[in-house]
Chain A
């Protein structure tokens, strides 16, 4: 018979209507699935009792193997065994910079909108398909453990994930047949797992040191609402680096005792790295670790590593995590005194000297009582349980932020920011724009992401056109452009001409996104380039104003130049226009302003005569009484 779980008072499900919802931590190295049973968030195990599913997929000709078995085949079949596919999600080929160190055969596929694909024995596989294979395995595990079909899942993503990476994650879930209730930022999930949503209001720091990545997030809880104040991190720093330091130390030791030490083959490298990882884990609870093994050359390795030594040669790695931590604190405009609690996430945070460093930095003891490997999945499960409707009343509303500003291109290649960086999601912002030329009936809308002032320095996300604007003089049309980012961080942009109601919209599913490094780089550039950006903006603005002036004068000259101007007057104006046009090609915005003023001045008599002429025209043939003055 079916097995039952305890429900909240009055929330017992009707038979066959159990809402089975899970939380999935789709990690770079390992993935997990968890669910809430009888009010308790629990990680689900496979038949062998493993909670962690290595995020490794091996493709055979007619079979897909996911997890431990695939991981074991990694060195034997590197091309068809894909590890760390999360790094490729939503990426184009040129985004992968260290391709030389990755054994896979990458293919750029135009059909998949710029996202790279990997050539395997089983054919071309996109990162989305590979992730879907991991998700399918977790789904199967969950359905076996829960005895029914899943209603939906909350899947976690790094806070840094951009639109493309989030969309790719959603696509992978759809491909695996999982209904995504929500994408949730990993740090937010960790905070939920610790029940911080029920804790005192205040600011919490989530320190997440995983196998290969480091993320720091600052969350603010107020009135039961979570808001991500700031995020930062290092995409190339993790527990693996500590293993690698031990490995290097081991080699140094062996070499110093052994004059004819030979470079290691791949098998021995792997062996020593495994020994290094075991030593690191051992040192969590012990003062020293013995590392004993025999290399394929017959050489014997027998070393003792003390905690003190380990701390000494990995201290710089620990310090490396503190610099993004400070940056995030600065971004959020906070000091240590503002922090109410610190949560540790990721297996690497088990290392005592990391705990000490975090404790010293924040001057308080971090929360560590949940398994740091599982905490993200546990939090996701709690959120999934709420979203599936298994809990009454005390809904948690989780808010995240935009990692970079979103805006659009205006005349002169300038960026008008519509949604600033670190805005809480979901968000909608509208801004009015107008036409640049008389009779303009269409407007191109170019959506960009980034902090810089010039479009060319930002990342292009999408382009679309609003057509059918009724012809009006320049500046008369009112076009309202609305940016909307939903709770999952996906952007849609719509434009509407207010008078006629013509509309156009686009949902941004960018061809590929930004790497964390790029985001960090873009932020850094925007600070470093603040002054030159300001100069560039002033220049572009001067040029746009000058061109608008020239355009208006050309129109006026064509209409009335012959009647109202003498040849001399006309050539004077033309001269000024030529000067200004030349200056516009240069970089001196002061000179452009001056020349624009001069041109304005030179055309004043012409403007006055045009005014008179149009007044005369309006009055011609009318007597005084018929005028309503």
Chain B
């Protein structure tokens, strides 16, 4: 399994990284907080940790720590628009249930 980005998402990530002027890639992860168990995190990466797993998708380096990987393996990260709002969206095959807002989930 792996973590992938859609082409749109990859383009956005590249643009944000270029604007930021530093960083080696994008970190996807989960935190055990939130109204329904777990929550996604999405961060820039400046430093690769020894335990990290990294993937390459459309030229972007995607980095995940081992604890998070079990919850999000197989995820495709997309960038979409909903009305005036736009942002990244996790298409995670492991999810059984989400809270109404979709910010947290259970597996």
Contact = CB atoms under 8 A, between A and B. Distances in A.
Interface of A: 1-12, 14-16, 37-40, 44-47, 141, 144-147
Contacts of B86: 3, 37
A1 B27 contact: no
Nearest to B88: A4
Given A15-B35, A15-B101, A5 B85 contact: no
A303 to B, nearest CB: 42
B1 interface: no
Given A14-B33, A144-B83, A3 B88 contact: yes
Contacts of B44: 6-9, 39
10 contacts: A1-B101, A1-B102, A3-B86, A4-B89, A5-B88, A6-B43, A8-B44, A15-B99, A38-B87, A39-B44
Contact of B84 (A12, A14, A145): A145
A496 B31 CA distance: 53
A37 B87 CA distance: 8
B103 A15 contact: yes
Contacts of B33: 14-15
B35 A12 contact: no
Contact of B43 (A9, A47, A145): A9
Nearest to B99: A15
B53 interface: no
Given A9-B44, A12-B41, A38-B16, A4 B101 contact: no
B59 interface: no
B87 A40 contact: no
A14 B31 contact: yes
A1 B86 CA distance: 11
Nearest to B103: A15
Interface residues of B, number: 38
A4 B103 CA distance: 8
A45 B86 CA distance: 12
Contacts of A7: 41-44
A39 B43 CA distance: 10
B75 interface: no
Nearest to B95: A1
Q: Which among A7, A10, A16 has the highest number of chain B CB atoms within 10 Å? A: A16
A40 B16 contact: yes
B43 A4 contact: no
A10 B45 CA distance: 9
A144 B84 contact: yes
B84 A15 contact: no
Contacts of B99: 15
Contacts of B102: 1-2
Nearest to B29: A12
A1 B36 CA distance: 13
A4 B40 CA distance: 9
Contacts of B19: 39-40
A6 to B, nearest CB: 5
Given A2-B103, A16-B103, A44 B43 contact: no
Q: Which among A4, A5, A147 has the highest number of chain B CB atoms within 10 Å? A: A4
Given A6-B13, A37-B87, A144-B83, 13 more contacts: A2-B87, A2-B101, A2-B102, A3-B85, A4-B40, A6-B16, A11-B43, A14-B33, A14-B39, A15-B39, A15-B99, A16-B34, A145-B84
B52 interface: no
Minimum-distance CB pairs A-B, first 8: A1-B102, A3-B87, A12-B41, A15-B103, A145-B84, A15-B34, A38-B16, A15-B39
B89 to A, nearest CB: 6
B46 interface: yes
Nearest to B84: A145
B12 to A, nearest CB: 7
Contacts of B84: 44-47, 141, 144-145
Contact of B35 (A8, A16, A45, A147): A16
A145 B87 CA distance: 10
Interface in B46-78: 46-47
A54 B34 CA distance: 40
Contacts of A37: 86-87
A490 B43 CA distance: 38
B50 to A, nearest CB: 16
A174 to B, nearest CB: 25
Contacts of B41: 7, 12
Contacts of A45: 84
A310 B31 CA distance: 61
B10 interface: no
Given A4-B89, A15-B34, A9 B27 contact: yes
A264 B20 CA distance: 54
A5 B42 contact: yes
A2 to B, nearest CB: 5
B104 interface: yes
Nearest to B102: A1
B83 A4 contact: no
Q: Which among B12, B35, B103 has the highest number of chain A CB atoms within 10 Å? A: B103
A428 B15 CA distance: 44
B40 A146 contact: no
A40 B12 CA distance: 11
